[in-house]
Each structure stands twice: as C-alpha cells, then as structure tokens.
Amino acid sequence: MNKKSIYLFLGITFLITWGVEITMKLKGINFLDGPPFYAPIIIIALMFVPLAASIIVKLVTKEKIIPYGWHWCGWKPVLSILIIMPTLFSLVYGTTWILGFSKADLSLQIFSQQVEELTGESVNLSSGPLYILGLFLLTCLLTPWINSIVAFGEELGWRGFLLPRLMPLGKTKAYLLLGAIWGLWHAPLIIMGYCFYTNVILGIIIFTVVTTALGWFINDLTLKYKSVFLAAFIHGTFNSQTYGIWKAIFTDINPIMGGITGVIGVIFISLLAYLTHRKTVSQRRLT
C-alpha cells in the first residue's frame, strides 16, 4: 500500500469538502428551511473534489496519471443498470408505502404545492398519472447520463484512485473502509439536514451503511469490468432515481425507516450487493 498517496488524497478531499460545507453550515445554510439556489450548485461542484485530489496526488507523487479502469465497459452492464436501479427503487418505495412509512401522493398535489412555493408560479399537474409516467421514463433513460457526468468526479477518486490502493488490505477490508470513508465524506451535509432532518448521529450511521452497501455493489462491478466509467454510470443512475419521480410521489416519508437512504433502503441495497457479489464470485470460479 502506498500510504502516502492515500493519506494525501483523503486529506485534500476532506479538507476542501468539509471546509466548504462547514462554512455553509456556519452561514446558516441548511436543508430544513430550504437552501438558497446556489447551495446545490456548490454541492455539485464539490463532487469533483475527489477527481481533483487524485490528479494532485498523482502529480505530487509522480505516479501514472491514468486511473484504474480507464476504458469503456461495453453496453451489457449499462443496460443492466438501467433495469436494476428502477427495479431497486420500486421495491424500496413500494415496501415503504406498504409498511406505512410514507403515503403515496399519486395526484402530485403536495409536489405541485412545493413547486409553487419554490417558483412562485401556479402549477397544474391534473394529469398526474401521465406526468408520473413521463418523469419515470425521464429518470430511467435520460437523466442517468447527465448525473453520470457529475458522478464521474467522485468515482474517478473513489473507485478509480482509492479502491485499487486499498485492495492490498483484502477485498472485504478495502470495501468496508471505502464505504465508511464515502459515507463520512457526506457527514456535513447530513448535519445540515440532508436526508435525515434533525436525526444527525443516527443519520450519519445509516447513510454510511448505505454507502458501504452501495459501494460494495459498485466495487464488484468496477473490478469485474475494469471500468471507472461503469462506476460513474451506476452512481449517476442511482442519483437519478433518488431525485426523480420518487421524490414527487413520496413527499412525506419517515427518513430513518423509509426510502432509499432509510433502513428499508439499506436492506434492499445490501441484498442487491450480496446477490451481485455471489454471482461475481461464482463466475470467477467457473473461469
């Protein structure tokens, strides 16, 4: 293990990200009252910090500039992800609804009110089911590609740079450590009310379990196809579903138990990671 590279990478990544987000918190920006319009832009920009950190480290340590998995993975895994992610979210939010941790607003009345409060303009979504279908298709077919561009900033750092440098620890330790790092990297956002409102400590713990489970899934496929681009696409598709139609339908949700970042999400993501890992190991044994 090149500990110098790892420590330098983590130091730069956390110093910049946490520094900016803690400053935002000190200035009173939070997700409970609704952040100013520029806050999401800053957060999106911070997703490129791991990429920038990996480049800085490579220049300082004179390592090769090409990250691990710098090639296209082929269309088969991409098409699989376009099916797997909507299925995963459907199961998570369907279970959330059935167990009573949220109500489904299929008329989109609450979502319409939220849009009106945000924009100050009247919104008519009387054709709720048609709008839901359109937004669902949008988040399945178009926005994954857009989100993947942003997610690439993170994934070139996490999966392209850090993962192969942690692998000398062994796969299990490397996966768990990377999942914990990825989750704690988001801690200031959770302190600002992201996802879990005022449940800060429990929120950080659950979110770290989510990133560990999701990271396990992404790690296995990244190593299998040797493609950081696939990692970015999985991450981008996941984010596309997270901020897509499900936010419009399930506007009032138990943040600890329900949704993709709650306990139910943890269970289903972990199941997906387990099945993928088992399949990957079986295929390696056959070859």
Span 27-69, pLDDT tens digits: 999 888 777 888 989 999 999 999 999 999 989 988 765 667 8
Q: Look at residue 108 in the predicted model and tell me its pLDDT.
A: 78
CB 97 within 8 A of CB 104: yes
Domain that holds residue 211: 3-286
Please name every residue paired with 102 in a beta bridge, in sequence order, or none if there are none. 253
Q: How far apart are CA 246 and CA 238, in angstroms?
A: 12
* Mean pLDDT, residues 234-239 taken together: 97
* Mean pLDDT, residues 1-5 taken together: 87
98 has pLDDT over 60: yes
Q: Look at residue 119 in the predicted model and tell me its pLDDT.
A: 62
Q: How far apart are CA 266 and CA 210, in angstroms?
A: 5
- Per-residue pLDDT band for 23 (boundaries 50, 70, 90) equals very high
Instruction: Please count the structural domains in the chain.
Output: 1
- Per-residue pLDDT band for 252 (boundaries 50, 70, 90) equals confident
Tokens read off for 63:
């390592």
Higher-pLDDT residue of 37 and 226 is 226
Give the contacts of 205 (CB within 8 A, at least 6 positions apart): none
Q: Look at residue 129 in the predicted model and tell me its pLDDT.
A: 76
Span 108-138, pLDDT tens digits: 777 777 666 666 666 666 566 777 888 889 9
Q: Look at residue 10 in the predicted model and tell me its pLDDT.
A: 98
Q: How far apart are CA 247 and CA 235, in angstroms?
A: 18
Q: Look at residue 112 in the predicted model and tell me its pLDDT.
A: 73
pTM here is: 0.92
Higher-pLDDT residue of 242 and 129 is 242
Span 132-176, pLDDT tens digits: 888 889 999 999 999 999 999 999 999 999 999 999 999 999 999
User: Taking Cα atoms as reference points, which of 18, 8, 73, 4 lies closest to residue 184?
Assistant: 18
